[in-house]
Amino acid sequence: MGDYDEFAMLHENATEVGLAFEQPTVERRWIDAPSGNRLSALVWGDSPAELVFLHGGAQNAHTWDTVALALGRPMVAIDLPGHGHSDWRTDGDYRPQAMAADVAAVTEALAPDATTLVGMSLGGLTALTTMATTTGLADRLVLVDITPGVNQEKAAEIKAFVDGPPEFESFDALLERTMAFNPTRSRSSLRRGVLHNAREREDGTWVWRYDQLGDRLLDLDTQFLDLWDAVSALTVPVTLVQGGLSPVVDDDDVAELRRRRPDATVVVVDAAGHSIQGDQPVELAAILADLTPTRTA
């Protein structure tokens, strides 16, 4: 596939959603985390970061590219352990509770003045855990289509994709499988996503950049239920942005969130599935802009 330039495709992100494009200031950084692993992140803008983003399982920091372009604010998007360019954990433990300390350290290093922590899916539960256990990390939490009520049934389609083959004979084979699981997304957007989330080996086969857990997969029916207590422990405002077409968050989840946090805000993005940042990135950026006023000098 030739040399991979991870920032050379940003103009495609902008064009696809009708944004005017000017090459942004964005760079990749690495931080040594408490676990002994190195975590990687994309740092957007020249000013102190106002927002920190955590992607979902089997994704990476580039999932937020279009949101970043639409938002136009200084921000940091972190590659979770075992994803993107971050180190894989030797213990294979990707529970939010295991990753929270590393996420807190990267946030404190790259975005010490952040006002908002945004997390989608596994990244949302990790953001929740991090905020509940680290005082003063940010002023608010935004959960993107996730609550601790997620289970095997709700996440069945996602797991079916993530649990797929560990390698592919060609880039096209990997892309075709990705398109089959994302029929509403354009081929160009999925091609970019695969280029960011996979790599070619010397023999010409392709593998994902994320750690496929195999028999170490999380038990979604029991793994996250105790994180409802983390919701109760939060001392900052929490907003849930729910995909109107997604099965991952249901009415019972919203009711439990509001029972534990009567002040919680719930915003539904009607024309979005689980990956709201991919389906409706401009609308998500507008929601985040309303939640996070621009910092004044």
- Residue 280 domain-assigned (yes or no): yes
* pLDDT, tens digit, 9 for 90 and up, residues 223-262: 788 999 999 999 999 999 999 999 999 999 999 999 999 9
Name the strand (E) or helix (H) holding 37: none
- Residue 56 domain-assigned (yes or no): yes
Residues 6+ positions from 90 with CB-CB distance below 8 Å: none
- pLDDT of 9 reads 96
Q: What six digits make up the tokens of 278?
A: 């991919």
- Residue 281 domain-assigned (yes or no): yes
Q: How confident is the model at residue 189 (pLDDT cuts 50, 70, 90)?
A: very high
- For residue 190, pLDDT beyond 80: yes
- Residue 25 domain-assigned (yes or no): yes
Phi, psi dihedrals of residue 42, rounded to the nearest 5°: -100, 125
| 121 given a catalytic annotation | yes
- For residue 264, pLDDT beyond 90: yes
Q: What six digits make up the tokens of 276?
A: 């709201």
Where does 43-183 have alpha helices with state H?
65-71, 96-110, 122-133, 156-162, 171-181
Among 79, 145, 211, 253, which one carries the catalytic annotation? Answer: 145
Mean pLDDT on 184-189: 91
- Residue 81 domain-assigned (yes or no): yes
Name the strand (E) or helix (H) holding 293: none
- For residue 207, pLDDT beyond 80: yes
| 274 given a catalytic annotation | yes
- pLDDT of 2 reads 61
- Residue 175 domain-assigned (yes or no): no
- Residue 113 domain-assigned (yes or no): yes
CATH label of the domain that carries residue 130: 3.40.50.1820
Among 35, 83, 274, 275, which one carries the catalytic annotation? Answer: 274
Dist. CA 49–CA 232, nearest whole Å: 27
Report the number of distinct structural domains present in the chain: 1
Among 40, 121, 189, 246, which one carries the catalytic annotation? Answer: 121
* pLDDT, tens digit, 9 for 90 and up, residues 25-39: 999 999 999 999 999
Domain housing 79: 10-150+222-291
- pLDDT of 295 reads 61
* pLDDT, tens digit, 9 for 90 and up, residues 99-138: 999 999 999 999 999 999 999 999 999 999 999 999 999 9
Q: How confident is the model at residue 215 (pLDDT cuts 50, 70, 90)?
A: very low
Instruction: Give 3-state DSSP helix, strand, coil % of the chain, rounded to 5.
Output: 35, 15, 45
Q: Among all chains, which residue has been given the structure tokens 């601790």?
A: 148
- Residue 32 domain-assigned (yes or no): yes
Mean pLDDT on 86-90: 95
